[in-house]
């Protein structure tokens, strides 16, 4: 009888609870050769932080190491120094969404969505979080707000594409959704609204000689990471709080800084991005293992964020944890450009929820999207309850 593999991210048990599997791997084989992906899986905090911080040794752009493999278009496949000015332009374009006016607008939208459900049970993902993050896409880029009913199914389909290495059939299965989003982004880029963040970024790209492929791919990445990863972060956070004895009401005493600390802790505890892939740019030793130039190294940041060597009580939610050097938003040259936006959406969502539906409780079993790389929820049934 064949022995059970030490690590199987395709199993239903893993998709429901990856953290138990990460703990076993971190203890038994913290730099693990995973043959199905022909990659090293790294689980310890110190090793993952090293991989993320050293873009010289660990490349996001495969063409640096594999000359026959082209660089993927867009900012996500760029390394320094090429990425620096590009990322600066994106940060400048997104600056407006960090304003008090934008936060008020987003909080008002969150309150509208919650009030629209009356006192009835609802799906917190479909009826609240997804429409809210699509408003955030509108505010961040200045593009027409996508219709949730049309956009959400394509977004869920594209989340499956993140597991293409584990499930190659996802490439063909998601082709219609890739075409839909590609057309939508092309339309946005062809005629950005006057004075919009997208117009500002488009102007910079034109002046800097950025290719159309890099421009559109970056806009696509920004829209999908906001509507996907940010939605997943808020959904995971809400579920974690609902499973606690006080529910989301535990956030009620917190001020703005306290909400930001809570957001960081909930990102550490159950963040959306589970893994980040890099390519070794030189032969090196990592955690006692010999990694060859050109081999892929997958930093399991969700495992690192539960490493007891880095965090006290790593499997508990400590809302005022400080310091909290989690890796959920990356590190180094590729740190998440949407970190401020993620915290803004978190504040808006939970400020409105505490004002409009303070006694929210689970009303059924949550359903996860069956993807290992991005941990997100498909359904989160909730209803008002009798919490004290």
Domain range annotation of the chain = 12-384
185-210 confidence digits (pLDDT tens): 999 999 999 999 999 999 999 999 99
Instruction: Please report the sign of the dihedral spanned by the C-alpha atoms of residue 305, residue 344, residue 260, residue 54.
Output: positive
pLDDT reading at 95 higher than 90: no
**What's 289-312 look like in SS3?**
EEECCCCEEEECHHHHCCCCCCCC
Q: Beta strand 39-42 with 296-299: parallel, antiparallel or unpaired?
A: parallel
Alpha carbon distance 156, 172 (integer Å): 15
**For a pLDDT cut of 90, what percent of the chain falls above it?**
89
pLDDT reading at 77 higher than 70: yes
According to the model, what pLDDT value does residue 1 have?
A: 45
Protein fold of 12-384: Cytochrome p450 (1.10.630)
According to the model, what pLDDT value does residue 386 have?
A: 80
Q: Residues 231-242: what's their mean pLDDT?
A: 98
DSSP label of 191: S
142-158 confidence digits (pLDDT tens): 999 999 999 999 999 99
Nearest by Cα to 276 from 320, 331, 324: 331
Q: Which two tokens stand for residue 140?
A: 């961040």
Cα-trace Rg, the chain: 21
């Amino acid at each position: 009888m064949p022995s059970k593999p030490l690590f199987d991210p395709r199993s239903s048990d893993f998709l429901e609870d990856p953290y138990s599997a990460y703990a076993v791997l971190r203890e038994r084989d913290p730099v693990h050769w995973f043959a199905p992906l022909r990659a090293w899986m790294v689980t310890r905090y110190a090793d993952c932080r090293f991989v993320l911080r050293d873009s010289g040794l660990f490349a996001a752009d495969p063409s640096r190491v594999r000359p026959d493999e082209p660089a993927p278009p867009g900012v996500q496949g760029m390394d320094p120094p090429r990425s620096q000015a590009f990322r600066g332009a994106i940060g400048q374009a997104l600056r407006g969404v960090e304003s008090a006016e934008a936060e008020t607008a987003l909080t008002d939208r969150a309150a509208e969505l919650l009030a629209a459900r009356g006192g009835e049970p609802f799906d917190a993902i479909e009826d609240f979080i997804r429409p809210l993050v699509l408003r955030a896409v509108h505010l961040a880029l200045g593009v027409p707000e996508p219709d949730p009913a049309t956009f959400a199914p394509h977004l869920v389909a594209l989340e499956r594409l993140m597991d293409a290495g584990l499930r190659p059939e996802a490439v063909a299965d998601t082709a219609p959704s890739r075409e839909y989003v590609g057309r939508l982004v092309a339309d946005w880029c062809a005629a950005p609204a006057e004075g919009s963040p997208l117009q500002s970024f488009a102007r910079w790209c034109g002046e800097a000689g950025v290719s159309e492929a890099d421009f559109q791919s970056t806009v696509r990445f920004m829209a999908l990471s906001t509507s996907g990863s940010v939605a997943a972060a808020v959904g995971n956070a809400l579920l974690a709080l609902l499973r606690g004895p006080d529910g989301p009401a535990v956030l009620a005493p917190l001020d703005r800084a306290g909400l930001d600390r809570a957001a960081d802790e909930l990102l550490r505890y159950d963040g959306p991005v589970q893994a980040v892939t890099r390519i070794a740019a030189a032969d090196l030793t990592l955690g006692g293992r010999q990694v060859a130039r050109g081999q892929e190294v997958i930093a399991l940041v969700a495992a690192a964020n539960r490493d007891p060597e880095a965090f006290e009580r790593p499997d508990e939610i400590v809302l005022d944890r400080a310091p909290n050097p989690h890796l959920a938003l990356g590190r180094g040259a590729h740190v998440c450009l949407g970190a401020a936006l993620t915290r803004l959406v978190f504040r808006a969502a939970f400020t409105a929820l505490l004002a409009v539906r303070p006694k929210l409780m689970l009303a059924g079993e949550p359903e996860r999207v069956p993807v290992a790389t991005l941990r997100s929820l498909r359904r989160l049934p909730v209803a008002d309850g009798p919490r004290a």
